[in-house]
Amino acid sequence: MKTIPRECSICNAPIEIHHDDWCAGHNAWPINNSRCCDGCNTHVVIPFRLALMNDAKIGKTLVEEDGRIKKEIVDEYISSGC
Ligand SMILES: [Zn+2]
């Protein structure tokens, strides 16, 4: 079995290996600048991305000055079971 070189930056789970060389996960923006696993991409990253795209006003209340989603909002969202 291959070693898994990366962990999800959101839930800390090992990032899935999809095929031989692809194990870098997904872009975790706007949660953070790192990578994330399949589950977090589907259940956390994409919903936040859509929220930001769909409503700029709500989006502004969700993000830090650098454009990332505020950590406490992400934590709350995850702890509520996504
Ligand atoms: Zn994850």
- Tens of pLDDT, residue by residue over 4-52, are 457 899 999 988 776 665 557 899 999 999 999 999 999 999 999 999 9
Going from the Cα of 73 to the center of ligand 1, the distance in angstroms, rounded, reads 16
Going from the Cα of 2 to the center of ligand 1, the distance in angstroms, rounded, reads 19
- The domain locations on the chain are 1-82
pLDDT at 14: 87
Going from the Cα of 65 to the center of ligand 1, the distance in angstroms, rounded, reads 24
Q: Is 69 left (phi over 0), alpha (psi -120 to 50) or beta?
A: beta
Q: Does the pLDDT of residue 64 top 70, yes or no?
A: yes
pTM greater than 0.85 (yes/no): no
Going from the Cα of 51 to the center of ligand 1, the distance in angstroms, rounded, reads 19
pLDDT at 15: 85
Going from the Cα of 26 to the center of ligand 1, the distance in angstroms, rounded, reads 10
Q: How far apart are CA 32 and CA 50, in angstroms?
A: 16
